[in-house]
Amino acid sequence: MSFLNDNISQKKIVLGSDFLTLEDLIKISRNYEKVDIFPESIKKVDAARKCVEERLQSGGTFYGINTGFGALANVKIPNEKLDELQINLIRSHACGVGEPLAEDIVRATLVLRIMNILKGNSGARKETVFIMQQFLNYGITPYVPAKGSVGASGDLAPLSHIALNLIGEGKVYYKGNLVSAREVLEHVKIEPLKPKAKEGLCLINGTQVMTAIGLLCAYDAHNLLKTADIAAAISLDAVKGTLTAFRPEIQNVRPYLGQKIVAKNIFEILADDGIRLSHMNCEKVQDSYSFRCVPQVHGAARNAFTHVLETFMLEAHASTDNPLVFPETNEILSGGNFHGEPIALALDYFAMAMAEIGNISERRLEKLVNAHMSGLPPFLTLDSGLCSGYMIPHVVSAALVNENKVLCTPASVDSIATSAEKEDHVSMGMTSANKLRVILKNVSFILSLELLAGVEGVEFHLPLEPGAGARAAVEWTRNSVPAVKNADRSLSEEIEAVASKLLRGELVHFVNQSLSGYTLQ
């Protein structure tokens, strides 16, 4: 297999050549698209490696290269034991616990780790880049426990589990099975990495795991943010709400971009809406906040999303190793770019923003099932009493919202000193990342519950029909889940199935096809 191709195949995504888009990261991590390495970036890797070797020969002392780690940084290691030092580092730090990270997260981490080294400030050899490229292209995914990182000195434990596989130890996922890394490497004829001075440290120092989680969550969240607008529009129609609060005049005098986008989305989804036309002259002046303030709440979450995505993308293209190598000045400098604080704060902010999408969705669902507020049959069933309809789906939504509120307690405000007080302030960013994953999944459930109830509510107004976008959402939903009306059944599997489709953006895609000259933003 050719690792470095001067005539780069257009069928592969090239790492190290330019800015990597989020869409390309998704293609590699979830669709298993193969990667190539940009030849010019290897020159940077070689230059940094040459600097490391020259500085070692000078007899100087350099952290993590010829010293111990953390509180043992003052222990000088003899030259003949430098390779052993790197192996011991990887083995000792690979002590994470808990459920494994999903394969797409680990693959995304490998991509970001390659990009970090290709910046030319790490000092690893090109062989280290090439073996990670092989793992991606052969579909070999390290088994990485999710817990054990405090997010300073980087994601040490999870990154060490990846490094452990590169040296032929530990377990990997390969063709759907969890197997020995050494067996897989022998099977595909990949020689395990034999790390040289600094290379173990290059592999485990950095924020790539928490950043990978942030980026994958951002991709899914963008689908959910658009989905939330669709669900809100349908719920608004079901309770015969007014579109006045969504008029552009209101948004223009408080011109947050997210607010303006949400209001425009709702207007387009409900364009030429038959249900709205039927009550244009009713006595209702304004709706509850959960309907009237959708542009402000959904919009604020979108503004937060824009900020955190910019942060994650900057981090994905940054050098977060330590010490950092600067070949142009022949220097090796110790610093703190591994500290996860920028990512940890963004992850916690992101979690709160997405939880708010769930919070306001649950409030709209409560209005849908509350006959005193909605004007619809109690709990959206024709035979209330005998049937419970959407009574307990709302309870499920409330439970999920409660869990999200607990998980929104920011991990980044905590710090527990480690390594004999040498590492005396840490970000806890990996905890923030793991919480965000749960919150995002919960929000997908909450939105699926509102969508199902909203569609049920809209159908009580037949033969009146909603606007084209909302009509498409009703059609999409009914293709997945039949109406409940007056025949109770267990909705668990249907809720989960719809939630998975929402995360994949299937509803958004279907609705976009129905909108004339407009695409949900």
CA dist list (Å): 166 to 142, 196, 412, 500: 9, 13, 31, 33
Q: Is 63 a catalytic residue?
A: yes
Separation of alpha carbons 348 and 136, rounded Å? 30
User: Token match 């990846």: residue?
Assistant: 162
Q: What would the two tokens of residue 388 be?
A: 């419970």
> How many residues in total does the chain contain?
521
| Residue in 203, 193, 163 with CA at minimum distance from that of residue 322 | 203
Buried b vs exposed e over 353-388: b needs ≥16 C-beta within 10 Å?
Answer: bbbbbbbbbbbbbbbbbeeeebebbbbbbeeeeebb
| Residue in 128, 113, 135 with CA at minimum distance from that of residue 34 | 135
> Exactly one of 32, 63, 256, 349 is catalytic; which is it?
63
Task: Provide the residue type at 143 as one letter.
Answer: Y
Q: Where are the alpha helices (DSSP H) in 370-482?
A: 371-374, 391-407, 429-459, 468-480
Q: Is the Cβ–Cβ distance between 152 and 427 less than 8 Å?
A: yes
User: 96 in helix, strand or coil?
Assistant: coil
Q: Is the Cβ–Cβ distance between 515 and 268 less than 8 Å?
A: yes
Q: What would the two tokens of residue 45 be?
A: 């890797």
Q: Is the Cβ–Cβ distance between 297 and 356 less than 8 Å?
A: yes
Based on C-alpha coordinates, what's the Rg of the chain? 26
Q: Is the Cβ–Cβ distance between 427 and 344 less than 8 Å?
A: yes
Torsion angle (degrees, nearest 10) of CA 274, 278, 282, 285: 0
Residues that are catalytic? 63
